[in-house]
Amino acid sequence: MSKIALLMFFPLAIILTACTSRIGVNEYSVSGTGQVNRALRGTILSVRAVNVESENGAGTLIGGAAGGVAGSTIGKGSTANILGAIGGAVIGGIVGDAAQGALSSQTAYEYVIQLDNGSLVTLTQGTDVVLHPGQKCIVIYGNPSRIVPYNGI
């Protein structure tokens, strides 16, 4: 791997990892604290593992920009520099998109819940708290919504 490729990849990996939203039940943003949310009791009907991918496109943009800059140093003369920049931007965008997918993919669980009022709802959340079919829970409506275990009456 060339020095230019290494110089492009490591900052890209750091930036993309930093851009990934954490989706765990126990993760709160500052704006999500101090708010009253509606909560309903229910029972978990089914659980399945899913993959959650980032949708921000930062990898393609950052990789394309870095590839364009690196590619512009190829060759001698303005035509070679322009063609190198275009080729570098295309290749950098492809590499950046692949890196973002690899670095920002997270495992989560999709839950189907029967609320005590008879309604069915689904919610996908991180793997830090795992619930099982038949388990009582509370669905907390908010941004983001959450499902937490319920051991009450």
- C-alpha to C-alpha distance for 90 and 105, rounded to whole angstroms: 23
Does the residue 14 lie in any domain?
yes
What the block records as the tokens of 61 is 């943009």
pLDDT digits (tens, 9 = 90+) for 121-130: 999 999 888 9
pLDDT digits (tens, 9 = 90+) for 20-54: 566 666 676 666 667 788 999 999 999 999 988 77
Q: In degrees, to the nearest 5, what angle opens at C-alpha 60 toward C-alphas 59 and 63? A: 75
Same domain for 93 and 63?
yes
How many domains is the chain built from? Answer: 2
Give 125's Cβ-side CA count (13 Å radius): 24
Same domain for 22 and 68?
yes
Most confident of 1-15, 32-46, 94-108: 32-46
Q: Which residue has the tokens 């005590």?
A: 116
Strand pairing partners for 125? Answer: 109
Does the residue 31 lie in any domain?
no
Same domain for 114 and 152?
yes
pLDDT for 152? 75
Q: State residue 122 phi and psi, 5-degree precision.
A: -125, 150
User: Tell me, what amino acid is at 11?
Assistant: P
Same domain for 58 and 88?
yes
Domain span including residue 7? 1-26+54-104
Q: What is the CATH number of the domain that holds 152?
A: 2.40.50.590
